[in-house]
Amino acid sequence: MVDSPLRPGLMLGAYPQQAESNSPWLEAWARRSGAAIKHRLRRHRYTLRYIVGKVNQYQHAFGGLSDAELQAQVRQLQQRLHVYGLSDELIQQAFAAIREAADRVLGKRHFDVQLLGGWVMINGMVAEMETGEGKTLTTALPACTAALAGVPVHVMTANDYLATRDEQQLRPLFRWLGIDSAVVTEAMNNESRRRAYRRGIVYAAGQQIAFDYLRDRMAMGNQQGKMQLQFKHVESLRQGQPAPFLLRGLCFAIVDEADSLLIDEAKTPLIISRSRQHEQQARTCFDALSLAASLHKGSDFHLDAQRQQVTLTSLGQDKLTILAESMAPCWRPRRQREHRVTLALKAKYLFLRDEHYLLRNGKVEIIDALTGRVMPGRNWEQGLQQLIEAKEGCEMSAEREPLAKMSYQRFFSRYLRLAGTSGTVKEVAGELNHVYGLRVITVPTHRPSRRETQAERLYKNSEQRWRAFVQRVESLQRQGRPVLIGARTVAQSENISALLADHGLQHQVLNAHQDKREAELIAKAGQRGCITVATNMAGRGTDIALGDGVAELGGLQVISTGRNDARRIDRQLHGRCARQGDPGSVVGYLSLEDDKLISFYPQVILKLAACLCPENKPLAHFLAAILLSWPQKWTEYQHYRLRCQLMKRDKQQAKIMAFSGPME
């Protein structure tokens, strides 16, 4: 039950947020254990029968009202929520009213399972809902209920496109209920952002709100106590100035695709930086690349593509020492020299065009490996960005120096109430509980799934894999079934496109180069006979509607051409088909020559596996499953370690950095 106030006011101040916990580990363990026991004692409250029964008690009364009468009931409910807070009874009444309003305004009535999903989120937990179960409509339940209680609500999505789409879909419902909503995107200036955050419900990509919070922290300086912030807020109002901060605090966040934002994004810290002038920057970058080009892979340095690491050998270090003698004095210090050359080697060998970045309008733009989307305004640290720009012959941007830094873990932990939903969260349920104190509740599907998941086909070499792949696509197109082909990188999607074109197969491509046409391409992807090649852009949040007669043919066929770094990301691609009871199927075409297998296994293992492959046929399914699973599990473990290390460093730095001083 959520009955404590979560909004700005006399009790929580003008900028509510959770105080950072410096409790000893034993006290923290005791608190979590107590929460676990409390949850087990009350777990009957998170069953479908419980919440549906409670909501239906009020549903019958609301169903017979006119629109004006129902809106009057909502106003009365809003007043009671302001006075009594988010009690169980008032939440259930609100859910019934919102469900009825959604049916009238949007023509969409919340399913019973969506009521359970909303109930889980309003109680500060994560609802695991299968892809296609209507998470966007489900989040409207807790978002509207909290907004009616006067709680500022942040609904976070994976990117600007999804934030804009979801807010536009639900805006008529919000307006009908008397709730103001807004969306915050990358292109907005500070004043536009400030106005948006004054609305009851704000949709935004997670990084947008996180960076705005970091800017507020910088504006606060050391004045972060409740009374100090309240005084600063009142003083600005008295002088007729804009509100001193962008946000109204961190009250209630609903994180759509929770595993993406709370887990995957947590590998990268939030950093606000400014340009730093460096007269010799261009010369230094070109010199570093020149030195890197003089070194030989294997003898002078070793590459670890899996971890994106470069290690200089003693021979390589000695060679650099000799070469530096004829160069500028800045190359004489050994540590500085080797650091710059190591970065140059990374830029040259490990960061690849159309995989890690793309060139657009003469600029290097980073591609998010998890979503396949360009991340505008993002730069690599420590001069790596400038080295890649020099490698590509682009105009070199100024180096950046950090002004403020924070991990996603610390940011999300400062919300008074944190909740979320995702279709692929069970694999990281333990980490969510350990880091954020979030419990995961699995919500049943509205209809039984009709997805047919076929065994992955692992071939001896790439030639056999692509031959079988093309034959399958040709067969599917003759049947009239739409096909979605998943590619890990932009480069791979372009190669697959060329392969299909060579065989006369008409298709469309969705990758970071075509991001402006995303909605148009997705609208066609489920039509009869359509072939779509897509990166992970066609993953989270993408709803591919089936065309007329497609369901009778078997629905959408998803074909993966390689495993991603995490099983969850693979499941997101699989979830594009067989949504909401529709038919669909999934199959994978891979080869023993795939990069992930080559970098993980010794050659002798791969040669042995190749010997076991029948000619032009895939490896036995159980052997393929073993070979494919271990590299992925290892990568998941490495990413988990990286997140833990980042969180540990961030907590240590928090005690030192002045901008992140005491919360109270």
DSSP assigned state of 346: I
Q: How far is residue 92's CA from residue 59's CA, in Å, rounded to a whole number?
A: 10
531: enclosing H helix or E strand: strand 531-534
First-last CA distance in the chain: 26
Q: How far is residue 510's CA from residue 518's CA, in Å, rounded to a whole number?
A: 7
SS3 484: strand
Q: Where are the alpha helices (DSSP H) in 422-487?
A: 429-436, 462-479
Dihedral angle, C-alpha 246, 249, 255, 258, nearest 10 ° = 100
Q: Which of 451, 513, 366, 408 is nearest to 132 (CA)?
A: 451
Radius of gyration, alpha carbons of the chain: 27
CA-CA distances (angstroms) from residue 264 to 87, 257, 642?
33, 10, 11
SS3 487: coil
Q: Which of 194, 200, 199 is nearest to 233 (CA)?
A: 194
Q: How far is residue 334's CA from residue 551's CA, in Å, rounded to a whole number?
A: 65
The two tokens of residue 563 are: 């495993």
Q: How far is residue 175's CA from residue 522's CA, in Å, rounded to a whole number?
A: 28
Which amino acid belongs to residue 48? L
Residue numbering of the annotated binding site for ATP: 114, 132-136, 543
Q: How far is residue 168's CA from residue 99's CA, in Å, rounded to a whole number?
A: 18
Residue numbering of the annotated binding site: 114, 132-136, 543
Buried b (16+ CB within 10 A) or exposed e, 367-393: bbbbbbbbbeeebbeebbbbbbbbbee
Which amino acid belongs to residue 177? L
What is the sign of the dihedral through the CA atoms of 305, 308, 309 and 310? positive
Q: How far is residue 2's CA from residue 122's CA, in Å, rounded to a whole number?
A: 8
468 CB-contact burial (10 Å; exposed 0-12 / middle 13-18 / buried 19+): middle
